[in-house]
């Protein structure tokens, strides 16, 4: 008579035997165990950790760190770091990726466990702070800036400072968060010789301009490319409110001239055809309005509104020589596209766009 055989379910095996079986399983198989049963999840968690260290897989090591960070368990992350998990995972991009893919509490867990807050990506040199700016995550940027170890004046391999990135690609809230740091270099110069105040003025960002003007560290007459001041950039951009904000600052040098033609703000406003700005500048007692000869020499069309303003102030005679058309310039639409894309500025024949 055949003897009847019996089988025992894996779930019914003693813990000691399950742990022994787990030692010979791959990481993938162990993960399958963990998601199958709560008992396995509690029992085999350490086995999965041991398997990651046994295989020394960078991918699985990073996944383990991020998974643990999502639990908010700082001690567990510290334990993994003590076992030198970074020896095979590396830390050049762990936090850089986490600020994009993980919630704020997980990133905070990694930082408080000792992960490098200023790690640079191998290809770009971007730090976690820069990645958060690129990702447009204001809350993440604010959280990172709460940590004094975060380098607020960091640069990447493209010679871009973090504060410049915030001014070009970030929000008003990001800029204000940067300004709260005492060690911030507010007037830092980028590779195109523009300063943050030039950038936000060139983008027409009124809120950012107000925030910078309220900071005592700001140099309002700081020179950019071709000796352009923030006022020159504001006049060219043609945003009345920004020009008004600059004029309200008593430190402003309203008659400063820029290259390549030695024009001041009033001359630029006339050239650009911004009649309302021309009036604002002429209403300011600091303006040295001696333009009649210069205006007549320009072979450009300034626009009838500007001509009427100049004639009403006695700066342009009623009979003016017929002017040739204004030179072809980049439209405000294409200028805005370049400003957002961060392309290189225009050739030296025309003033470069500080928003790039």
> What does the alpha-carbon distance between residue 241 and residue 251 come to, in Å, rounded to a whole number?
18
What is the average pLDDT across 188-217?
A: 96
Place of tokens 């352009």: 228
Q: Considering only 16-25, 107-116, 251-260, 306-315, which range has the smallest mean pLDDT?
A: 16-25
* Paired residues of 263 in beta bridges: 258
What are the chain's domains? 120-185 (1.25.40.20), 192-321 (1.25.40.20)
Burial degree of 297 (CB within 10 A; 0-12, 13-18, 19+): exposed
- For residue 10, is pLDDT > 70? no
Burial degree of 217 (CB within 10 A; 0-12, 13-18, 19+): exposed
pLDDT score recorded for residue 238: 95
Number of H helices, E strands in the chain: 22, 0
HEC states along 222-237? CCCHHHCCHHHHHHHH
Burial degree of 14 (CB within 10 A; 0-12, 13-18, 19+): exposed
Q: What is the pTM assigned to this prediction?
A: 0.79
Q: What is the mean pLDDT of the chain?
A: 81
Highest mean pLDDT among 58-72, 199-213, 325-339: 199-213
> What does the alpha-carbon distance between residue 208 and residue 269 come to, in Å, rounded to a whole number?
22
What is the average pLDDT across 8-25?
A: 58
- Asked if the peptide bond before residue 41 counts as cis, ω within 30 degrees of 0, the response is no
Contact call for residues 179 and 202 (beta carbons, < 8 A): no
pLDDT category at 138 given cuts 50, 70, 90 is very high
- For residue 13, is pLDDT > 90? no
- For residue 319, is pLDDT > 60? no
What is the average pLDDT across 151-158?
A: 96
- For residue 330, is pLDDT > 90? no
pLDDT score recorded for residue 327: 43
């Amino acid at each position: 008579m055949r003897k009847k055989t019996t089988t025992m379910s894996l779930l019914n095996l003693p813990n000691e035997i399950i742990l022994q079986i787990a030692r010979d399983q791959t990481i993938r198989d162990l993960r399958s165990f963990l998601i199958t049963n709560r008992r396995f999840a509690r029992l085999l968690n350490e086995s999965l950790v041991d398997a990651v260290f046994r295989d020394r897989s960078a991918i699985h090591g990073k996944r383990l760190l991020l998974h643990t960070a999502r639990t908010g368990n700082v001690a567990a992350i510290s334990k993994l770091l003590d076992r030198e998990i970074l020896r095979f995972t590396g830390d050049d991009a762990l936090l850089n990726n986490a600020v994009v893919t993980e919630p704020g509490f997980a990133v905070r867990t990694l930082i408080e466990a000792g992960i490098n807050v200023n790690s640079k990506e191998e290809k770009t040199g971007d730090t976690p702070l820069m990645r958060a700016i690129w990702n447009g995550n204001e809350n993440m940027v604010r959280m990172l800036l709460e940590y004094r170890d975060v380098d607020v004046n960091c640069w990447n391999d493209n010679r871009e400072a973090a504060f410049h990135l915030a001014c070009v690609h970030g929000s008003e809230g990001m800029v204000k968060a940067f300004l709260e740091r005492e060690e911030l270099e507010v007037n830092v110069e980028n590779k195109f010789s523009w300063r943050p105040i030039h950038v936000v003025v060139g983008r027409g960002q009124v809120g950012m301009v107000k925030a910078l003007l309220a900071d005592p560290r700001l140099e309002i007459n700081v020179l950019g490319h071709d000796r352009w001041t923030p006022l020159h950039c504001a006049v060219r951009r043609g945003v009345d409110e920004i020009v008004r904000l600059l004029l309200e600052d008593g430190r402003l040098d309203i008659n400063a001239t820029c290259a390549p033609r030695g024009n001041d703000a009033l001359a630029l406003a006339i050239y650009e055809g911004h009649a309302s700005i021309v009036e604002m500048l002429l209403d300011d007692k600091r303006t040295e309005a001696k333009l009649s000869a210069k205006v007549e020499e320009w072979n450009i069309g300034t626009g009838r509104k500007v001509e009427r303003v100049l004639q009403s102030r006695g700066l342009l005679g009623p009979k003016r020589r017929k002017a040739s058309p204004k030179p072809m310039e980049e439209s405000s639409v294409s200028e805005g596209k370049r400003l957002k894309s961060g392309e290189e500025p225009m050739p030296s024949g025309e003033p470069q766009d500080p928003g790039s």
